[in-house]
Chains A and B, each alone.
Chain A
């Protein structure tokens, strides 16, 4: 697994990595979902598509994660597998998952938003790394 939860006072952060930018984005999204529930309980029975275009990659990753938070908070949809393409700060993603059911899925954190606070998104030794702090 190429992501982990990191410690911050008050809120919660994640660190995700990937061999490619796409992989790094995917892992950051899975990390977000893992904060909300236990990922192995989420079946892939429904597909949601997200398309997004921003001025910078930083804005793109925050925009993408906030879109996933919106979709969860509004429609109860939670994913456990993601396919995604990024080109010229444009992102197209397919998210496979299902509707959250408190009787089946563990309730973990209610994530309000992904923030720019201490945001990291960088390439290091052929690896993409991101750190994102969420408002809980």
Chain B
């Protein structure tokens, strides 16, 4: 019996949400879940996968990854491709946190070298990296700076002293999407983003000090500069208030546009416009600006992380060897070429809580990864593990070169706080050998490991389905949260 009535199991890793599940579906939905994760599916999220299938110009199936959970409009974990001529673009298919994403840094340190100083390290990182509700950054952007962040992305940060030019090679799209027009972004978005560059945010955003505790693919790991027992740092953040405002501004525009173009919406958060329309193009351009802001943001956060390590361990940058393994976006829309029914087609791919996972040889990959494929960074919850995967050829055939993005929530925030009552999550984490520091009083309860699905189960599904391959597993020893 399927968990959700009306869905059909296709194979051990996929279920189908057939046309007719909701009225007006133009194609089937496909959700990547095994029988275990299927038990955690919510009816609302499955309905959202079906709703996306009703949108004009959808190509292939409306897809969802195993970390699926209910979003607004589109499900989190959703991937949807639209024809650039006849299809739509939707801010709801990207999310409020445009280019929320993850960056992984490697180092020359081993766990044994860092562990004795982990408390000091976490305190210092927390002091250097602004985080939490109501925090502002150390950078104040002038009007000219803001426009440059929008057009240059991570390069702006490098040119202003945050990090090195070589960092850019290991960022998706080199940390900059071309075609962001600063004039299409509202004054309010600029105001909101003015002093938030270089801030972590709150909620599920974090900075983690981790070590490599399992290597599945030694040769690929070596190419990525990773080895067993090594210290890594993972940064999860996005475009902050700047991106949220741009999304909010354009949801408004798109609600009007959907009326204007006669697009029927089963849910207002699916508000969209034809990709080629003026509204569609304007949103796409503004979204690129927010994506670029997010890459600049993670670049600044990384720069201060390096400074903290250098200061605490009193070594040279060369000895520290802290380089970017890769930086991925998991809330974004991108123009990409894919093979559809044997023909090469330009599509607008929406990934909302999903990660690009291009295989080896893909022309968009940087030279360093051409031979192995794109590193995919999958964060887990703060108490268990995270993963580095690599994109596989099958992803191009089945998921428009996409895979999962994280663990996916299991408990609502409210339920998590209830379950954590009377417990000290900080203490429980310390007993597992993980030192955590959070700005918000309830953040640790909301974000405790029990609130999430086990990321290992999620990653096993994409690994076994052949859309991305496990390379290494990472375990946290220090965490800062907002």
Stretch from A17-25, A43-51, A100-108 that touches the partner: A100-108
Check: B269 CB closer than 8 A to any chain A CB.
yes
CB of A63 within 8 A of CB of B252, answer yes
B contact residues around A32 at 8 Å (CB): none
Chain A nearest CB from B199 CB (Å) reads 10
Q: Does B366 contact A (CB under 8 A)?
A: no
B: number of interface residues (CB 8 Å)? 47
Query: Are the C-beta atoms of A117 and B72 separated by less than 8 Å?
Result: yes
A102-B413 in contact (CB<8A): no
8 Å CB contacts to A: which residues of B397-419?
409, 412-415
| Contacting residues, chain A, for B188 (C-beta < 8 A) | 70, 74
Q: Which residues of B contact A136 (CB under 8 A)?
A: 203, 413
Q: Can you report 21 A-B residue pairs in the complex whose CB atoms are below 8 A from each other? A: A7-B412, A9-B42, A10-B70, A11-B72, A12-B412, A66-B248, A70-B248, A73-B241, A102-B133, A105-B134, A106-B441, A107-B132, A107-B134, A110-B482, A115-B96, A115-B269, A116-B251, A117-B72, A117-B73, A135-B95, A136-B413
Tally of contact residues, A, Cβ under 8 A: 36
Are A113 and B96 also in contact (CB < 8 A) when A10-B412, A73-B241 are?
yes
- Complex contacts, B203 vs chain A, CB 8 Å: 109-110, 136
Q: Are B441 and A108 in contact (CB under 8 A)?
A: yes
Bound form: Cα–Cα A8–B203 in Å: 15
- A92 touches B (CB below 8 Å): no
- For A63, the chain B residues whose CB sits under 8 A away are 252
- Max count, chain A CB within 10 A of own CB: residue among B69, B133, B203: B133
For A108, what are the chain B residues with a Cβ–Cβ distance below 8 Å? 133, 440-442
Query: Chain B's interface: helix, strand, loop or mixed, by majority?
Result: loop
Q: Interface on A for B, CB 8 Å cutoff?
A: 5, 7-12, 36-37, 58-59, 63, 66, 69-70, 73-74, 76, 100-102, 105-110, 112-113, 115-117, 119, 133, 135-136
Q: Please indicate the chain B residues that have their CB under 8 angstroms from the CB of A73 in the complex.
A: 192, 196, 241, 244
- Taking CB atoms, residues of chain B closer than 8 Å to A9 are 42, 44, 69-70, 409, 412
As a 0/1 sequence over residues 58 to 94 of chain B, the CB contacts with chain A under 8 angstroms (1 = contact) are 0000000000011111001000000000000000000
The CA-CA distance from A34 to B353 in the complex, in Å, is: 28
Least CB distance, A32 to chain B, in whole angstroms? 13
Q: Give the nearest-CB partner of A54 in chain B.
A: B252
Contact with A along B212-251 (1 / 0, CB 8 A): 0000000000000000000000000000010011011001
The CA-CA distance from A100 to B71 in the complex, in Å, is: 29
CB pair B414–A5 under 8 Å, yes or no, is: yes
The 8 A-B residue pairs with the shortest CB-CB distance in the complex, in nearest-first order: A117-B72, A110-B202, A116-B268, A107-B133, A115-B72, A73-B241, A107-B440, A100-B134
Question: With A5-B414, A10-B71, A113-B247 known to touch, is A107 a contact of B441 (CB < 8 Å)?
Answer: yes
Question: In whole angstroms, how far apart are the Cα atoms of A70 and B240 in the complex?
Answer: 12
B245 close to A107 (CB less than 8 A):
no
Given A10-B70, A107-B439, A136-B203, decide whether A113 and B248 contact each other with a Cβ distance below 8 A. Answer: yes
Tell me if B108 counts as interface (CB < 8 A to partner A).
no
Query: Which of these, A37, A66, A116, contacts B72 with CB under 8 Å?
Result: A116
- Is residue B38 within 8 Å, beta carbon to beta carbon, of the partner chain? no
Q: Of B42, B191, B269, B443, which is within 8 A of A74 by CB?
A: B191
In the complex, B478 has a CB within 8 A of chain A? no
